[in-house]
Structure 1
Amino acid sequence: MPGMSDPTEPSLHARIRRDLLDGYDEELEMEIEDRSVDEALRGLDGPADEAAQSQRLTYFKQLFRLQRELVKLQDWVAHTKQKVVILFEGRDAAGKGGAIKRITQRLNPRVCRVVALPAPNDRERTQWYFQRYVPHLPAGGEIVLFDRSWYNRAGVERVMGFCTEDEVEEFFRSVPEFERMLVRSGITLIKYWFSISDDEQHVRFLGRIHDPLKQWKLSPMDLESRRRWEDYTGAKESMLERTHIPEAPWWVVQADDKKRARLNCIQHLLDQFPYHEVERTEIALPERERHDDYVRHPVPAEMFVPARY
C-alpha cells in the first residue's frame, strides 16, 4: 500500500551504516594493494591468524582515529587560513605514496592536494631550479603534500649524474635560504624522510617484479637506484646534514613496517599544529520538493551497463 515501507528493504540506519562501511573498505582495498592479490584474498577467505587479525584490527582502529583528527586539522587550516607544505622524501619503495594516500584519503581535495612533478622538460631545465615548484605552493587555507620535491637535486639528480657537482653545491647554498623565505612568508614547512633498510627495499622490489598489478611502479631508474644503494646513502647523509635547519628540520620515519610508519607519521604531523575542532553550523537536510506535474521519463534499457555482478 502507498506510504507503507517494504519490510524486506533495509532500514535507513542500516543503509547509512552500509554506506559508511563502503567508505572504510577503501582502506581495505589499499591494504590489498600493499600485498599480492592472491595473498590478500587468502587472508580474507582462509583461517585467520588470531595475532595477525588482532594487529590488523588495532591498525585500522588507530588509522581511523587519526584520520578523524586529520579532518579536524583540515578544517582548522581552512578556517584559520594556514599555509602548510609537507615534503615526503625517501628511497624508492620506502612507503611515501602509501602514507600520502592515508593522509589524504578522507580530506577535501580543495584544501589538501598532492604534487608529484615529472622530470623537468627542456625549458624547465633552464629555469631557476626552484621555479617549477613555486606555482604549487599553498594559498591561505591549503595543505600541499609534495611526493618528492626540490630535494630531487640532492638525491636522484646527483646520484644519476643529471646535474653537475657545482649545481649540487649551489642547491645546498640556496635551499636553506629558500626554505627560510617560505617560513617567513607564513608557510609551515615539514620535511619527512622515509627510511628503510637494504633488506626491506630488496623484498619490496621483488614484490613489485612478481606482482602484475605493481610492475608499473618499477622504472629503469628504480632498478638502477637499487644497484647504487651506497651512492644514495652518501647523498642522503649529505642532504640531511646540510639542510636540517631550525626553521625546517628533517624528521626521519622508520619505515620498514609500513603500517607503523603511516601511523607514526600521521600522529607526528598532527602534533606539529595547535589545531582544534572548528564548530560547524548544524546541517538540516531540506525536504525534496514534489510537484504534481513532474514526470520521470524512463531510460532506454540498452543504455544501462550490464549488471554482471
Structure 2
Amino acid sequence: MDFDNTMEDLSRDWLQAELDETLDDMFEMEFNEPMLSQEIRRIYKRQHPDTLDNRVYYTNLLRLQSELIKLQYWVEQTNAKVLIICEGRDAAGKGGVIKRITQRLNPRVARVVALQKPSDHEMTQWYFQRYVPHLPSGGEIVLFDRSWYNRAGVERVMGFASEDQVEQFLQDVPEFERMLVRSGIIVLKYWFSITDEEQQLRFLTRIHDPMKQWKLSPMDLQSRVRWEQYTKAKEEMFERTNIPEAPWYIVEGNDKKRERLNCIEHILSKIPYEDLPTEKIALPERMFNPNYERRVLPDDLYVPKVY
C-alpha cells in the first residue's frame, strides 16, 4: 500500500468530515431565523444580496483554521508572544471573528481577554495597569476583546474620562505599545468597521431576536445615538495611535463571513510562522488486568436519558 496516497486520502476524508460537521452551523442559522419577524428577515436579505456562499465560506474557514493550528505550534515551540487587539463599533462582529480564530485552538495557548468595567480600586491605578497582567507570556496568543482603547472610545464619548485623561492616554499609548514590541510581543491591532445602516439593522435583529437580546446593553443603544461622536473619536484615535511599530488595520465587516476570513488571512500574513515538524503520536496498548472486575454504579449517578 502506498503510504503517501493513503495519508492523502485520510487527509481528504478528514477535511470532508470536518466540513460536514461545520455545516451544522448552517442548520443552527436556519433554526434561529424564525425567531426574527418576516419583515426583518426580508430587510436583512435585501441588504445582503452578495453575501459569501456558505460552502465557499466554510471550506476556506477550515483551511484557515488548519493554518492557525500551525501558527499555534510555532508559537509554542519558539516561545513567541502574540497580542491581537480587537476593537470596533458595537455589533461590528468582533466576537464572531474571535470565536472563529480560537474555535480549534488550545485554550491554554490562545486565550481571550474581555475585561469588565474597572472597579473603584482599579480606577485609582495607572490606566494601563489592569491590562498588563493579561499580556502574553512566551508561547501564548492573547486576543483582547476591547482593550485600553476604551479610553479613546466609549470612555471619551460617554464622559467616563475627562478630556485631560484622554489627551494623556493618546500621548502615552504609542510609547506603551513601542515598549511591548521592544519586549518581543507581536502586536496586531484590528478595527472592525460597519456602516451606520448595517449597525442599525443588526441592532434591530437583536431587538427582535430573543436569542440575541442579551447582547444589547444600554451603552450599546447610546452608541446609536452618538454615532457621529464615536466617528470623530475613532478618527483622532487612528491619527494619534497609528504607529509603524503597531499600526491599525481596518477590517470591513458588513459581510460577517468575508470579515472573518479576511481577518484570519491577514493575521497569518503578518506573523512569520513556519510549519514546524511535530512529534508523531502513537497510541499505546491498553493494559488489561484479568482479575479486575468493573463495579456496577448506582442508577442515580447517571444523567437521565431524556433524549
TM over 0.5, shorter chain: yes
Q: Aligned with 1:167: secondary structure?
A: helix
**Residues paired across the two proteins, number:** 284
The superposition leaves residues 116-173 of structure 1 with CA deviations (integer Å, 9 ceiling, x where unpaired) of: 0000000101100000000001111111000000000000000000010000000000
CA drift at 1:33: 6.0
Identity over aligned pairs, percent: 62
Q: Which residue of 2 aligns with 1:5?
A: none
Give runs of aligned pairs for residues 1-309 of structure 1, distance below 5 A: 21=18, 24-25=21-22, 28-29=24-25, 32=28, 36-38=32-34, 55-309=53-307
Matches of 2:155 and 2:271 in 1, distance apart? 33
Matches of 2:122 and 2:52 in 1, distance apart? 50
Counterparts in 2 of 1:286 and 1:53: CA distance versus 1, 3 Å: farther
CA drift at 1:283: 0.7
Counterpart amino acid of 1:228? R
Q: Aligned with 2:285: secondary structure?
A: coil
Q: Aligned with 2:53: secondary structure?
A: helix
Counterparts in 2 of 1:65 and 1:247: CA distance versus 1, 3 Å: same
Q: Which runs of 5+ in 2 are unaligned?
A: 1-9, 37-48
Counterparts in 2 of 1:35 and 1:191: CA distance versus 1, 3 Å: farther
The superposition leaves residues 22-49 of structure 1 with CA deviations (integer Å, 9 ceiling, x where unpaired) of: 9944x74488369834279xxxxxxxxx
Matches of 2:167 and 2:50 in 1, distance apart? 48
Matches of 1:21 and 1:235 in 2, distance apart? 42
CA drift at 1:306: 2.0
CA drift at 1:282: 1.1
Q: Which runs of 5+ in 1 are unaligned?
A: 1-12, 41-50
Matches of 1:64 and 1:176 in 2, distance apart? 35
CA drift at 1:308: 2.2
Superposed CA RMSD: 2.6
| 8 Å Cα contact 2:82/2:185 also seen in 1 | yes
Matches of 1:167 and 1:52 in 2, distance apart? 43
Q: Aligned with 2:152: secondary structure?
A: coil
Matches of 2:208 and 2:105 in 1, distance apart? 33
TM-score of the pair, normalised by structure 2: 0.87
Counterpart amino acid of 2:32? S
